[in-house]
Every structure is written in structure tokens, then in C-alpha cells.
Structure 1
Amino acid sequence: MSTINTVTEQLTRAGQAIEHDSFAIIDREAAPHGYSAGQWPIVRRLIHANADFEFNGLTDFHPQAVEAGVQTVLRGGTRVIADVEMICVGLSAPRLAHFGMRTYQFISDADVIEAARTEDTTRAVQAMRKAHRMGLLDGAIIGIGNAPTALIEVVRLIRDAGARPALVLGMPVGFVSAAEAKALLAEVQTVPWIVIRGRKGGSTLVVAALHALLALAEARQRGDRATP
């Protein structure tokens, strides 16, 4: 049986070879790690996205994160709620379509901007509140790559408003509250999460993590016994 995913891989043989060779180099050059067989493909793709081996160690997982992510993708029709449009644009449309997934982001909506001005908060906070009011957070995969305030608000909604996303990818980049927001998420027990500790992160890493989960889900769909 082929080990190539037909949907979540590069579309040409040459592209597949380059990507697989890159992963092999990462496997060879990475320092020893304690990640599981399901976690390492996600960490490896984070490294691949930025050529930064520090993600081997900075990436932390809730014990149920990988399985929750794969099962949520396989369920079909899963919503991806992003803090910024860059994540939605960066995700592969054919890969999302294969699993019937749809992306949402509200950062530039007029009502979000107005609420942020009125309440003297950030647009990112109001965007997460809007998603919650619309009933979109429960069962969704939330990807935060840009705005620490969005992640802080997601944690508040989980703790105080009963929001129950299927998985939170907490990867905001920055110098103000980024590390603190991710540490706050890592204290959550009721919802699975994947975080990049410290200041590093970014929308490209959320996209990379999601693509890794889609690849794991497709391998599971194919009946690949090697997947977690």
C-alpha cells in the first residue's frame, strides 16, 4: 500500500520528493525528543515551516490533543475558527474540502471593530466573542497565531462561558502577553490544546499544525495502522 496521502501531500512527484526529503533531514538532525508517534509529525511540520529546530521542545501537547484533532477532522464538517484571515488563506482549500471543513474569521467585521472601540478592547477579543455568540466555538478547531488577546479570551470563554472547542491551537507570536497567554491555555484541562511556549509562534505555524493534523487524519482514513 502506498504511503503517499493523495489529498494532503504535494500534488506532484517532484514536490512530494522535496517535502519527504526535508522531513528526513529534520528527523536526522533533530535532537532527541520525547514526543509520541502522533505528536512528532506535527512538531516536524512546525520545524519545516520555519527551519527552526527550537520547536522541538517549545511545542507542548495536552494528552488528548492529537487524537482529538484527528477525530474532529474525520468527523467531517468541522469548523476552523481563526484569529486572523492569514490562517484561512494559508490553509489548503482542497485539503479542507476533502473533510468538508470550513474556516471563519471575524477580525475585520464592522460590528467587531465597533465593539472593540466601545468597550476599549481588541478586535481579536471581540472576534472570539462573536464566534461564541454565533455558536461556532463548540466542537471547532480554534487556531490563534497572531493575537494573544484572542487566546486569553478563548480561555476565559472556556472557563466562564462553557465554550467547548474540540481543540485549541495556541500559537500567537509576540512580545506582549504571548508567552503568558499560552501558559494560561496550558493550564486548561477540559479542552485539548497544542501550544508553542514562549514568544515564538505565528499564523504560518497554525497552518502547519492544521495541515499535519489533516495528513494524520487522511492516513487514518486510508487505514494506515502506523498512525496514532
Structure 2
Amino acid sequence: MDSLNMKPEEIEMESFRIIDVEAGDHGWPGEEWQIVRRAIHTSADFEYAQSMVLSDDAVEKAVAALMSGAGIVTDTNMALSGISKPRLAPLGCTVSCHVADPDIAMQAKSEGITRSITAMRKAVANSDNRIFVIGNAPTALFELLRLVENGAAKPALIIGLPVGFVGAEESKNALASGCHDIPFITNIGRKGGSNVAAAVVNALAILATQKK
């Protein structure tokens, strides 16, 4: 196949075909596989077929939240940029990230904590924010879980895919261990990233749009 002359949608379809073939008997149900396959597609890493963990109701609750116009908040502007706004537009969903807000920088400095922690506290104060997408900062995920534990937040879904060597794996393990029955999508290990987290949102948005 001449990839130089392929349209973007043809390239995507061919990529998914290759992933389906190479993944073999992966064991994921249909809608969950669409989420995992997007993670593989954006990273070219088949390890996600084994490392992804979804709570039993994650896809169902995520799609329902998106169809109701849930606000989405990310831990980085990179994740925000990777989420397809045209896919969310028919659903009426907005996406925000507070980590670069001037008040966040000032507050974090005065309290001696990270901007990621401060931004997460600001995000949960807005009840419209119901889907939390964390692809970079373990501190953001740990703080969100603390806020849930204290009753200060009750997300419709947590997508927790921080990447790195310090705290990333531990924060995802904490999420996967269960947190007040909050639906979640995560993975086991150090891998992850804003691009993968955004890809998961995009996959969910496609499912929600198809059902709306």
C-alpha cells in the first residue's frame, strides 16, 4: 500500500487494522478494546494491551458523562491540546487546564507545593468538571485521590496515566486499588503520558458521539 498517497482517515484505518492483526487474541471486549487500541495507536506500544486497567463501569459511565456535556479537566496543556475539540463539540463538553493560570503559580509558590496540586484543587471546586485526565503529574493524581477520599470531589471518571520514574506507578496503583467506586482508566507501570491520556478521551468521545 502506497502510504504517501493515503488520506489521513485511510492511514488511521490501516493503522487500526495492523494493530488488530498484531495484537491477536487480546481478550478485550469491543468498546474497551477501542480505548486500549487508541492508546496503542498513539504510542506504537503494544504493551498497553496487557497493562491497561479499566474499572468495570468505566466506559459506560464515561460515555454517559460525555453525552451529558461533562466538563473535562487535564493536568497539562499538552493533554488539553491532544484532545479533539471537534469530537467534543457535538456533545457540548469543554476542556480546561489550570496549571498555567497566574493564580495557580502564585498560590503554589506561597504554599510551597507543586502547581499540579494547586491546579487540581482549583479544578475540583468547579462542579462542572466531572472527567479528570492526568497524563503527566503523579502529584496531580495523588492529590485528586486525596480530595476524593476527603469528600471534596466525586468525578464521573478519572483517567490516570501519568508517566515517569517517581510516583507514577505508585499513583496509578492507588487509583486501580479502588477509590470510593469512582470509575477509572489507568495502566500498570511507568509508561503513560499526556498523549496517551488524550487518546483515551478521544476514543471515548467517538463512542459517545456514536450513541448520542
TM-score, length-scaled by structure 2:
0.92
Q: Percent identity?
A: 42
Which residue of 1 is the match for residue 87 of structure 2? 95
How many pairs are equivalent? 206
> In structure 2, what is the Cα distance between the partners aligned to 1:171 and 1:216?
20
Which residue of 2 is the match for residue 133 of structure 1? 125
Q: Is the partner of 1:180 in helix, strand or coil?
A: helix
Amino acid at match of 1:214: A
Pair 1:53 & 2:43 matched: no
> In structure 2, what is the Cα distance between the partners aligned to 1:117 and 1:108?
13
1:29-70 deviation line (CA, Å, top 9, x unaligned): 014323221110110010000110000111000111010111
Give me the CA root mean square deviation: 1.4
Which residue of 2 is the match for residue 110 of structure 1? 102
The Cα shift of 1:197 comes to 1.3
TM-score, length-scaled by structure 1:
0.86
The Cα shift of 1:110 comes to 1.9
* Structure 2 portions without partners, runs of 5+: 1-5
Which residue of 2 is the match for residue 67 of structure 1? 60
Q: Is the partner of 1:38 in helix, strand or coil?
A: helix
> In structure 2, what is the Cα distance between the partners aligned to 1:212 and 1:133?
27
> In structure 1, what is the Cα distance between the partners aligned to 2:112 and 2:50?
36
Which residue of 2 is the match for residue 8 of structure 1? none
Which residue of 2 is the match for residue 206 of structure 1? 197
Which residue of 1 is the match for residue 28 of structure 2? 35
Pair 1:159 & 2:152 matched: no
> In structure 1, what is the Cα distance between the partners aligned to 2:127 and 2:139?
20
Q: Which sits farther off after the overlay, 78-87 or 108-117?
A: 108-117
The Cα shift of 1:135 comes to 3.2
